[in-house]
Amino acid sequence: MTNKRIYFDYLATTPCDHRVAEVVMKYMTERFGNAGSVDHVFGDEADLAVKQAAQQVADLVGARPKEVIFTSGATESINLVLQGLRTQGIKRIAVLPVEHKAVLDTCNFLEKEGLAEIVYLRVDSKGRLDLEHLEAVCTEGLSLICVMAANNEIGNIYPIEKVGSIAQKYNIPFLCDGSQAVGKIPINCNEMGITYLAISGHKMYAPKGIGALVVQRGNFLKPLIYGGGQQFGMRSGTMNVSSIVGLGEACRLRLLEMEVDEGEISLKRDRLQILLQESIPGLVVNGDIDNRLAGSLHISVPHIPNKAVIARIRHQLAISTGSACTSGIESPSHVLTAIRLEDRLITGALRIGLGKFISIDDVELAHQILMEAILSI
């Protein structure tokens, strides 16, 4: 067995693309101006770079550059929407029970404060959204719909265009967590009826600590952060120019390369799935296998504790037992609980995430490591 370490946890984070890192470094060391400095060319360069990045983000997701607010990541973007709307009388929010904790925990906070009533949408055993139930809930009145574009554990891709159509039919704002989907599947805010789209840079080969929120024109959010009034008054603070430029470059590259990359990733994912199914008795693939991210493979091995598997492979192969946001928390995954997965499958659940820098040799090696670890328990 080789001593090579391989990374198959792309749903937790992606390595920064070297081309993106080069641009980030340039704006950290050479073009380091403050985008808010209007009295010299250093500030002009930074301001121009931020505007270009906004255009690049907008091009990828079918929005206008003036609709792009740069944040520290999708968690801040989601909070900016959910908390930024609370003074506008939010009373009833429809939420997928498999949403990221950034959505669920913020909604729980609002409910405990008496600021919102949370209505949980129905999903089936594959995690698929019940669109009829969504529409029925809409007829009873809603202030906001929260449906993610793709799930961060089981990889399901949700019918965002249909959700957006229902939202528009009933004139309900639509918040979509796009952190796992942007740069992997086509998303067009205008065509899909998305009012607010949360984006995370480190899920698409950009740096950590940078993200964006697309706010459909005509909507305004009460800020969480006050200060200099930057970004149309919705998100004050000195602009993180280098990371913003990095996010823009990542979006530019995803627009150019996404289709080919995701096609190749899907083939590698399918190869790994077949190898594991052939060599590990009783293996179960979770989620909606007909509508999932190209790089997502969520499996369960009945009666084999996932922690025992991780303990054997953690120095060779990077995979996870669930979402990175809840890593270390001793409780069943809320996603797997929501889809009513059997306990024997929850305890044996493993999340595998593939990305563009994984080779077919890596796939073969990952299979060998996993197979040997599981069969040895």
Contacts 24+ apart (CB under 8 A), 287-290: 287/126, 287/127, 287/151, 287/154, 287/155, 287/156, 287/339, 288/126, 288/127, 288/128, 288/154, 288/156, 288/157
How far is the CA of 47 from the CAs of 31, 33, 107, in angstroms? 11, 8, 35
Q: In this structure, which amino acid lies at residue 152?
A: N
Cα–Cα nearest to 69, from 214, 243, 221? 214
Of the listed 16, 138, 146, 325, which one is catalytic? 325
DSSP state of 223: -
Q: At what angle do helices 241-279 and 18-29 cross, to 10 degrees?
A: 160
Cα–Cα nearest to 137, from 97, 98, 166, 108? 166
Q: How deeply is 95 buried, as exposed, middle or buried, from its count of CB atoms within 10 A (0-12, 13-18, 19+)? A: buried
Residues contacting 307, CB < 8 A, separation 6+: 321
Kind plus residue range of the DSSP H or E element containing 349: strand 349-353
Q: How deeply is 257 buried, as exposed, middle or buried, from its count of CB atoms within 10 A (0-12, 13-18, 19+)? A: middle
Handedness of CA 193, 196, 202, 207 (dihedral sign): positive
Q: How deeply is 312 buried, as exposed, middle or buried, from its count of CB atoms within 10 A (0-12, 13-18, 19+)? A: middle
Q: 296-300 and 349-353: which strand pairing?
A: antiparallel
Place of tokens 């060391």: 29
Look up 325 and say whether it is catalytic: yes
Catalytic residue list: 325
